[in-house]
A and B are shown apart, each in its own frame.
Chain A
Amino acid sequence: MTCFDGAASVGGGREGCQIVPARESKNAAKAAFIEARSVRKSFDGVPVLDGVSMRVSGSETVSILGPSGCGKSTLMNIITGLIPADGGDICFAGRIGYMQQKDMLLPWKTIMANVTLPRIIGGADRREAEAEASPYFEMFGIEGYENKYPRELSGGMRRRASFLSAFLISGDVMLLDEPFGALDSITRGRMQRWLIDVKRKVGVAIMLITHDVEEAILLSDRVYLMSDKPSRVRDEIEVDFFADEKSRRLLSPEFMEYKKRILDSL
């Protein structure tokens, strides 16, 4: 069963994220949320999600931290409506922007054409969609790449473009599935700081999927710890130090305390 909340999701359903003019959705941001209640899912009789509940709202960043194969991407796909759950509820208000593990950038389209694709598919005028996307290129640090093709960009730059693409679908709530998992560690660190910075500018709610303990502590306001499959939420941890200056977290003593606590719990 599924429940919906608020007018924003009417017609959108769980078939996927709904495309709305970016300007509209950004103003409606504060009421947006996603909630999963006791979501269960098996593949071929093998239980993967065994009653997972979680919530993200407002402009918080919430991490779902769990080992590879525990069903994090499966949960994402259920939330976006790509696959059905066997049981439990998904509730959400607002539109969901979804950034996959892998870059969803078409190699035959420029970065501008790629990030505006959802709007074009939704029937928007190309020039209007581009005008809307334009200012964010600078904000997200990819100005000058508008007319480049994906293969001309580095992995980190492609991630930024993917993030922009998801953000243009919805500036309310974003699901990021291991956004930096495929990057080298130096680029990953740079991109984490970039995300903190961008997040502060646009104030969107983020549900971040990761298997990296340090990434979860660095970026999150709250962390859900997932067990191995069949997985449930094993623990929920509030991360409340340097909440407004997350980039300073990495070198503070609290960081180690949180890390120890999470590692003990896993």
Chain B
Amino acid sequence: MKTVLTGSNKKRRWRDALYPVATVVAVVAVWELIVRAADVPAYLVPAPSAIALAFVSDFGLIASHARATMFEAAVGLSLSVAIAFGVAMLMDNFPAVRKALYPLLIMSQTAPVIAVAPILIIWFGFGALPKVVIVVLMCFFPICVSLTDGFAETDKDFLDYFHLIKATRLQVYRHLKIPHALPYFFAGLKIAVTYTVMAAVIAEWLGGNEGIGVYMLRAKQSFALDRMFAAIALVVAVSLILIALVDLAARRVVYWKAGAGEGGVGE
């Protein structure tokens, strides 16, 4: 069974998407006009058309750097999800682990990752590993916390029911806790993917020889602001695509939550 999106619902979502798109188009147009009219030099503020041109003419190089970044982001995000599931299940099963870890998890989030990154580079070198670690440090937390909350908020009556029908711990997870925690998981994942690519780029910035971050650093050093902006636009676009994918996956997987307001049938 799939999500039932009624026609008007779908139309409304498209219409809602028009507002930010129109805003962006307007801002870009004004930007272009001002840069042209005032003759702003390209090493200060490049025109949107110049940025687009830079993106096209430098596409081969950008794409090869982007591949490295996407690799780090993908591995980092996958690891984040895996570790978050593991830690959340540990905390859910053992109250002592929960009490010990939960405050530490929150504390760890207040440590400035940017300051930690150079240390990681000292430890792990200039390859992909320190970047993956930084992505995990940033993305693991929202996923883990939302999963933990999802497990903890499982309905007590349902837990009693599962006890009554003699379900094993694993069965409780499989049939009750994990499905119940999925909407929470996707909410956390959505937050995580908004910083996944950014985290990888920042990590590359601090040391390395490939990736969008490295490309940006080099563009900056040669005052090629048009290429710099092209790289930023790419990071934003990829992040937005990731968010959209998570939304899509959430709607498919959490089909049973959709369609609020649909009345019952029969009786």
Q: Do these two chains really belong together in a complex? A: yes
| Chain A residues within 8 Å of B, Cβ to Cβ | 15-19, 80-82, 98, 100, 102, 104, 106-110, 117-118, 121-122, 145, 147-149, 151-158, 169, 187, 190
Given contacts A102-B157, A106-B175, A106-B179, contact A154 B165 (CB under 8 A): no
| Chain B residues within 8 Å of A, Cβ to Cβ | 1, 157-158, 160-167, 171, 175-176, 179-180, 256-257, 259, 262, 264-267
> Looking at the complex, which one of A82, A147, A152 makes contact with B264 (CB distance below 8 Å)?
A152
Whether the pair B166, A19 counts as a contact (CB closer than 8 A) is yes
> Looking at the complex, which one of B158, B259, B266 makes contact with A104 (CB distance below 8 Å)?
B158
Given the complex, which residues of A lie within 8 Å of B179, measured CB to CB?
106, 108
Whether the pair A121, B175 counts as a contact (CB closer than 8 A) is yes
Whether the pair B167, A154 counts as a contact (CB closer than 8 A) is no
Given contacts A104-B157, A107-B257, contact A187 B267 (CB under 8 A): yes
Give Cα A16–Cα B167 distance, bound, in whole angstroms.
Answer: 11
How far is the CB of B105 from the nearest CB of chain A, in Å?
A: 28
* 28 A-B pairs with C-beta separation under 8 A: A16-B164, A16-B165, A16-B166, A17-B165, A18-B166, A19-B166, A80-B164, A81-B164, A98-B164, A100-B157, A106-B176, A106-B179, A107-B257, A108-B180, A117-B175, A121-B166, A122-B166, A145-B266, A151-B256, A151-B264, A152-B265, A153-B264, A154-B267, A156-B267, A158-B264, A169-B165, A187-B267, A190-B267
Give Cα A106–Cα B165 distance, bound, in whole angstroms.
Answer: 14
Whether the pair A104, B161 counts as a contact (CB closer than 8 A) is yes
Give Cα A81–Cα B164 distance, bound, in whole angstroms.
Answer: 8
3 nearest interchain CB pairs? Answer: A154-B264, A154-B267, A156-B267
Whether the pair B266, A157 counts as a contact (CB closer than 8 A) is yes
How far is the CB of B263 from the nearest CB of chain A, in Å?
A: 8
Whether the pair B165, A19 counts as a contact (CB closer than 8 A) is yes
Whether the pair A118, B264 counts as a contact (CB closer than 8 A) is no
Give Cα A77–Cα B176 distance, bound, in whole angstroms.
Answer: 21
Whether the pair B163, A82 counts as a contact (CB closer than 8 A) is yes
Give Cα A151–Cα B1 distance, bound, in whole angstroms.
Answer: 13
Whether the pair A100, B161 counts as a contact (CB closer than 8 A) is yes
Give Cα A108–Cα B164 distance, bound, in whole angstroms.
Answer: 20
Given the complex, which residues of A lie within 8 Å of B157, measured CB to CB?
100, 102, 104
Residue of B nearest to A77 (CB): B160
> Looking at the complex, which one of A15, A108, A153 makes contact with B266 (CB distance below 8 Å)?
A153
Give Cα A102–Cα B265 distance, bound, in whole angstroms.
Answer: 19
Most buried by A among B162, B256, B267: B267
